[in-house]
Structure 1
Amino acid sequence: MAKRKQAVRIGLGLAAIALAGSIAHAFGQTPDSRGGPVPGAAPGEQEEQAFFRSNRFTMPEPARADVPKTTIGQGYARIGENAGLELYMDQTTYAIAVKNKATGYVWSSQPDSKTMRGEDLNEDWLNAMQSPFLFDYFQEGDATPASGNYRSQHGKALSAKPVPGGMDVTYALPDLGISLTVRTVLDDQGLVVSVPNDAIAEKGSGRLASVQPYPFLGSVRQADVPGYLFIPDGSGALIRFRDQQSRFDEPYVGEIYGSDVATTGFGFANAVSYPVFGIVHGAGQNALMGVVEQGKANAEIVAYPSGVNTNYYWVSPRFKIRSAYFQPTSQSMGGINTFTKARTEGDKSTRYVFLSGREADYAGMAAAYRAYLRRGGQLPERPAAAASDTDRDVPVEIDFLGGDVEPGLIGRHVLKLTSFEEAKAILEDLRKQGVTRVTAVLKGWNSGGLNGARPAKPSFAGELGGRSGFEALRDYAAAQGIALSLETDYTDLLKGSPRTNVRTDAARMITDRLVEYPFVSKFVSSLYKDLNGYFLRPQSALRLAKDDFGVFREDGLTSLALNGTGSTLFSDYGGKTPLTRTDAMGTYGKLLEEAGKQSLRLLVNRPNDYMLKGASAYLGMPLESSQFMYATDTVPFVEMVLHGVVDYYAKDANHQADPAEDVLRMIEYGAYPSFVITKEPSWKLQNTPSSDQFSTAYGDWAPEIKRRYDLANEALKPVQGAYMTGREVPEYGVVKVSYSNGAAVWVNYTGQDYRSGAVAVKARGFAVTGGGEP
């Protein structure tokens, strides 16, 4: 198991912050209009109900409060229009406003001037809120970025030219010698704000580091407007608007696709797989959803809760133009701090979709984002049977850990943990118990075991039974209708792999050093200090995948499980021409095409959005957010986008601290169960790189697999192939999830039975109501 899981880099401090946030919400330490004692609750209930106010869960929506009316201010002129919206621009400040024709509601990029004057803002923030864009910049010879905005830098508008649906405004920052154009247009789908790359000019001492066009679009002062920010953290999270708020030092920053290790090196990054965010002004009234379209490989989602610098809530993308990095100049790691000279590739643009009525909440955003992905051809084709077949049992993922390396008297050898014959016997035992639909994934099936050689060569470990043993397992699985996949990874490269050469196949950083990291964390084992990991160059990954896919098909396989390749993105500065992250996305897209040519299904672990099209299943679905202190709720946004589109599986159940809650969360989020299994007892893994898998023995887990499978069938079989269409929280700890076929799944996390009319949900239980065709 690659310890690129970043055991060190996750950061105990950040984990403590998240935990503190959860505890603070649980026990009312964060000021909240919904906090305080629970009226009428007994002492024991007080503690339980307080727990469900934690940001680990979703709060009930407060009673509907009308959103204050908004209007187009003086000095605005209409510059664009489509069937449902009108776009206006202030001819002096170049602020924009978007009016919904049906409701009359107006979204503005600039907070109300009267409110700002009463906020006691310092000059920098007052200027920022009235600027059409924020930016960071470098000065030549100085690698420390400085922050600025259009007004503070005495910006000037050089020109304002009408374009179809909107306006191009070219701005100059004379003190820095920088000019750029912001294009704002309405098309038939919504508002698009972009910064064309070829319209950026840098003729002075300044160099752009980042730019944020119209960052205050939809911003809210404290709880002047009811609602929340949506951020794509984990499964999804909300930051509700409040009148009282703690002071925070930093905003939320989600790096789309994680940090680019080839430029900035390894370090903690709050990675975002889906470049989407949103703002709600009154749930069920008005909402906007933003999607980063162009430049997303070099962008991050930034959300400021009230209490960070100002009393305003706001969220926007920040596009990276250049990055600071350390350039070593000696073997002793002496060097200089500098910044990238070339700008990041391509135009930068964000699309805003405006929602109203019942669609104006995070569930509506999920439906809108699913439609957006569908229009762009970014989702897999929905199988014909998935839309109507609710008679089949739901699947369970069984990951068999075949073999891994361990030290021996002479070098390392492969330790057998589950042979092919033993995997077949386990599958047969599950079938006899009534576990009839299994997605089986073989890990460590290859010569060298799981962590002996990466990327793995398509040859089967003799210690596990060799080719003949695998073929017997393959034929059994096919006869029983079991989906069998081999796990492979075209991202990690281990020195010594017979298929690759580190000097030519490993990605390089901008400093020309190899992208290198300790493959096994010291927190797992000190026996593998010499086992260094590298990143496989995307071109090499594509070459190897092409070769492998043909061999796998010849071996009678129809399915593979990709680990790492779908979720890790990096530049590569090796060779004559650097490969950008956008280029790498395209290369991985070709890898998906090659799998399609060979009719291979791909199960992808934590896929980024550009990998969804080729994913027949999503492995390792996140069922939680990071629980940062300023987040108030965790929501299943990703699940609401993908349910009914692609099967997805929860993280393995082997290491869950609260199995009862874990099952309920899995059911609520519509995820299928998964397990990591070995035939051998778990203690045998203690001297392998997989020693963090401390409970895997099938003999121990067989009853729990059967139990979870039966519960998942009872709850999720009636909603297979259906979209999630809504989600309600009638009481703390009680959730109702509605589906497109008329069914609803109710989950009760609390210790008391719940009843609503004819619906009864037992304590720590679930119920399914309704149903029909999707």
Structure 2
Amino acid sequence: MADNKIRKTVKKALAAGLTAAMLLAPIQSFAADGEGTDKAKALAEAIVREDAKTIKDHELVAENDAIALYLYEPTLSLIVRDKKTGAIMESTVGESDGTLNATWENFIKSGIGFDILNNVNEERTDLISAQADIDVVKKADGFSAAVNLTKYQISFVLNVTLLEDGIEVEIPGDSIVEEQDQVTLGNVFVYPFLGYTYADERDGYMLMPDGNGALIYLEDNDGRFTSPLNLKVWGDNAGVDESYVLSLFWEEYQTVNDAEPVLAPVFGMVHTDSRMAVLGIIEEGAEDARISAYPNGAVTNYNWVVPRFTLRRIYKQLMSKEGTSAVQLQEAKRAQCDIKLRYVFASGEDADYAGLAVKYREYLLENLSAKEDKFRIRLDFLGTDRENGMIFKKPVVMTTTDNIRDIYADLKEANVTDIFSIYKGWQDGGIWSMPISKYKADSKIGGTSALTKLIKESKEEGIELYLYQDALRANPDTVNTTFNVIKKLDESVYEENTYKEIYESFRFQTPDQAVKKLNESLKSYGKKGVDSLALTGITNHLYSYNYNGKQYNRTENLQIFSEALESAAQDFHLAMEQPISCYWNLADSIVGMPVNTSSYIFTDEEVPFLSIALKGVIPMYADYTNFEANKSEYFLQLVETGIYPSFYLTWEDPVDLLYTNSADLYTSRYGVYKNEIIEYYTLLKEVSDATAGAVITDREKTADNVAVVTYSNGVKVYVNYNEQPVTCDGIALDAMSYQLVGR
């Protein structure tokens, strides 16, 4: 019997409401037929026929109406059982395939893994290899384990708590004790194999937070991968990571693009055959975490996705100003954060990426109030930049306040009235004059009074006009950066290279200095009645750094920025550029929401995970349409995701920017984009009006490449990405088109 018949039979049986016990017999008969044996056997072993006190030597420790939690104390291994379907997910490998060395054999059988730093040497270990002494105390809703890694004299406490639809796992930071100065915890891997599968024995995929969302199928990779996909949660660490330029790769015309950001600290594993899925959410410790996906072939023959928490790292300390010699050192201070994750499980029809996105939205709404999600088209403007003159730099004026007023009036005649704008380069000295500490507009755009008048008039017209401010960077060509900028851990001054002609690099302010300058600017804005800011820099950067001989880490950085943004949000409307998830509750809108992924070779399918979770919760604005190569497909993606369109505009021809740092703004003239703006506004507003006040409840991609998005008000959006017409659910769709059903 073919594998696809096995899958269809299993799905049909589960959909009909059959119990796990009723389902097991036909699965075993498939194995008896001799065809699809491995898949049938693997699936049979993943379904427990009836309630049990013990599963694979794991004892029941807690349960509720939805799930049951089982524990194997010697390795702190877990098994989670879906009580409705009988499907289980395991956190460790019982018997390996015999292809691994002793280090990996023990690692895959351990509930927690570690990288131990012994002076400047790193050693991968686990509870077995580290000769852990484990004392478990069972509770009504889980257990607590006091763990002592006797080989390294390191101890900590692990708490696992059963929740309504999942479990919470925590290692309190203050419970970690390192008895030797140079033998410390580097990385901690928390239940790395939870939901693992072997090769292509199971059907499903791993969910990764790359851009909007990416899937990696659980298929036989035939040795295609030799290393994992590592995603840095909340971006690079400027105090440790190297600054680099995007470079040519392989061929002259192929370039390496910037990776899409990881805004949300989430990951998942979906077993489509047993219809069980898990979403991992990093609740604490995300500032020093990575999420790694290991498809089979990458180190082992298993498929697994894991969060890795970095508590300390090894770095190079420069020994000379020239940087010709260096020594390796450990970070002096361990990251002062708790390690805390929530694993949320889904089953049946909800056991897919869309169901997990809905679960994530429910999780977010526990601490985040939904913002007004009214459709607006985003029209950003560049005021001024600078180019070199004979002696001094001279202004390049692109869009004045009068120009913006004329654009608004022109669009109003075409019934384009719902507008959200960000004004960049408004400040004295142009767009790269940073930091801003005073509300003073460039005279070339009309001056401060003219800008204040425009903001007031726009508000009266119902237009949201925000002033752009990078609250992190300092330009060494416009301000003194001898002090109050960060040094990397190796004590070299951090410089962000631009590889442009006018301003070659920027520096990062220390968190205290960045907040000081931000607060000075806020006070100045308030005096003039300006209350809408579009912030960047501090919204998506965290860093370790050296200052006055003392090291600071990202946890301390996060606390300072969080407090500053929380204070600012009390008096100002804040739009944030690609904000990390812990700031979402403070933002009125998210600017630069990724529509796609980074297109890594690991990715088998791009999915709108984040936009499913956030649609109807907070307004999302896409990257600029100006620079999209395939505008037809991009427009359809905006229809599908509910992300609002964005344009970057100038009144003058962008050819004038050729010798400025904004030279990459090669197409922006309003006259060129006017008709496209009107078309995007008219069509996308119609979609938004049909789904207003609703959230996305489901999304699926059919076999014939049609995306079907279902909203809570009953509206369905059908998007045909094919170059030819197709019919889906009886609905005829033209090539590269969409339809709204159920309005």
8 Å contact from structure 2 (residues 595, 637) kept in 1: yes
2:87 pairs with 1:123: no
Aligned to 1:185: 161
Distance 1:303 1:485, change over 3 A: same
Q: CA deviation at 1:286?
A: 0.9
Q: 1:238 aligns with which of 215, 230, 233?
A: 215
* 3-state SS of 1:136 partner: strand
Q: 1:490 aligns with which of 471, 477, 494?
A: 471
Q: For the residues of structure 2 that align with 1:675 and 1:353, how far apart are their CA atoms?
A: 38
2:361 pairs with 1:382: no
2:734 pairs with 1:762: yes
8 Å contact from structure 1 (residues 380, 612) kept in 2: no
2:263 pairs with 1:291: no
Identity %: 30
Q: For the residues of structure 2 that align with 1:382 and 1:449, how far apart are their CA atoms?
A: 32
8 Å contact from structure 1 (residues 132, 150) kept in 2: yes
Aligned to 2:486: 507
Aligned to 1:224: 201
Q: For the residues of structure 1 that align with 2:73 and 2:401, how far apart are their CA atoms?
A: 71
* 3-state SS of 1:272 partner: coil
Aligned to 2:503: 528
| More moved, 214-223 vs 77-86 | 77-86
* 3-state SS of 2:459 partner: helix
> CA RMSD of the aligned region, Å?
2.5
Q: CA deviation at 1:74?
A: 4.2
Distance 1:322 1:421, change over 3 A: same
2:192 pairs with 1:201: no
Q: 1:560 aligns with which of 522, 528, 533?
A: 533
Q: For the residues of structure 2 that align with 1:690 and 1:185, how far apart are their CA atoms?
A: 52
Q: For the residues of structure 2 that align with 1:264 and 1:556, how far apart are their CA atoms?
A: 40
2:110 counterpart letter in structure 1 = S
Q: 1:308 aligns with which of 295, 298, 303?
A: 298
Residue deviations 1:29-67 (CA, integer Å, cap 9, x gap): xxx99xxxxxxxxxxxxxxxxxxxxxxxxxxxxxx9994
1:329 counterpart letter in structure 2 = M
Q: 1:710 aligns with which of 682, 686, 694?
A: 682
Q: CA deviation at 1:160?
A: 2.4
* 3-state SS of 1:620 partner: strand
8 Å contact from structure 2 (residues 76, 112) kept in 1: no
Distance 1:650 1:578, change over 3 A: same
1:239 counterpart letter in structure 2 = I
Residue deviations 1:444-474 (CA, integer Å, cap 9, x gap): 0010010133336310110111123213322
Q: 1:545 aligns with which of 506, 512, 518?
A: 518
* 3-state SS of 2:546 partner: coil
8 Å contact from structure 1 (residues 196, 347) kept in 2: yes
* 3-state SS of 1:573 partner: strand
2:61 pairs with 1:85: no
Aligned to 1:211: 188
Q: For the residues of structure 1 that align with 2:439 and 2:638, how far apart are their CA atoms?
A: 34
Within 5 Å, give how 1:247-646 maps onto structure 2: 247-266=224-243, 271-282=261-272, 285-333=275-323, 334-375=325-366, 377=367, 379-383=368-372, 386=373, 394-455=375-436, 457-497=438-478, 501-518=480-497, 520-521=498-499, 525-529=500-504, 532-574=505-547, 578-598=551-571, 600-646=572-618
8 Å contact from structure 1 (residues 505, 537) kept in 2: yes
Aligned to 2:133: 157
Aligned to 2:142: 166
| More moved, 73-82 vs 639-648 | 73-82
Q: For the residues of structure 1 that align with 2:321 and 2:661, how far apart are their CA atoms?
A: 30
2:496 counterpart letter in structure 1 = Y
Residue deviations 1:611-647 (CA, integer Å, cap 9, x gap): 1011111111101111222221100011011100111
8 Å contact from structure 1 (residues 67, 282) kept in 2: no
Structure 1 runs of 4+ off > 4 angstroms?
Answer: 64-67, 267-271, 575-579
* 3-state SS of 1:291 partner: strand
Q: CA deviation at 1:514?
A: 2.9
Aligned length: 686
Q: For the residues of structure 2 that align with 1:737 and 1:219, how far apart are their CA atoms?
A: 29
Structure 2 runs not aligned, ≥5 long: 5-38, 49-53, 245-257
* 3-state SS of 1:613 partner: helix
Q: CA deviation at 1:726?
A: 0.6
* 3-state SS of 1:263 partner: coil
2:655 pairs with 1:673: no
2:492 counterpart letter in structure 1 = R
Q: For the residues of structure 1 that align with 2:74 and 2:459, how far apart are their CA atoms?
A: 69
8 Å contact from structure 1 (residues 727, 736) kept in 2: yes
Higher relative contact order (CA 8 A, sep 6+): 1
Distance 1:94 1:460, change over 3 A: closer
Q: CA deviation at 1:108?
A: 1.4
8 Å contact from structure 2 (residues 335, 555) kept in 1: no
Aligned to 2:22: none
Q: For the residues of structure 2 that align with 1:200 and 1:478, how far apart are their CA atoms?
A: 53
1:454 counterpart letter in structure 2 = P
Scaled by the length of structure 2, the TM-score of the pair is: 0.87
Within 5 Å, give how 1:684-703 maps onto structure 2: 684-703=656-675
2:335 counterpart letter in structure 1 = T
Residue deviations 1:677-710 (CA, integer Å, cap 9, x gap): 1111111000110001111111111121112222
Aligned to 2:33: none
* 3-state SS of 2:365 partner: helix
2:697 pairs with 1:725: yes
Structure 1 runs not aligned, ≥5 long: 1-31, 34-63, 387-391
Q: For the residues of structure 2 that align with 1:653 and 1:178, how far apart are their CA atoms?
A: 52
Q: For the residues of structure 1 that align with 2:60 and 2:622, how far apart are their CA atoms?
A: 48
Aligned to 1:37: none
Distance 1:714 1:552, change over 3 A: same
Q: For the residues of structure 2 that align with 1:284 and 1:648, how far apart are their CA atoms?
A: 34
8 Å contact from structure 1 (residues 453, 496) kept in 2: no
* 3-state SS of 1:597 partner: coil
Scaled by the length of structure 1, the TM-score of the pair is: 0.84
Q: CA deviation at 1:741?
A: 1.1
2:722 pairs with 1:750: yes
Q: For the residues of structure 1 that align with 2:417 and 2:163, how far apart are their CA atoms?
A: 49
Q: For the residues of structure 1 that align with 2:132 and 2:448, how far apart are their CA atoms?
A: 71
Q: For the residues of structure 2 that align with 1:144 and 1:732, how far apart are their CA atoms?
A: 52
1:201 counterpart letter in structure 2 = V
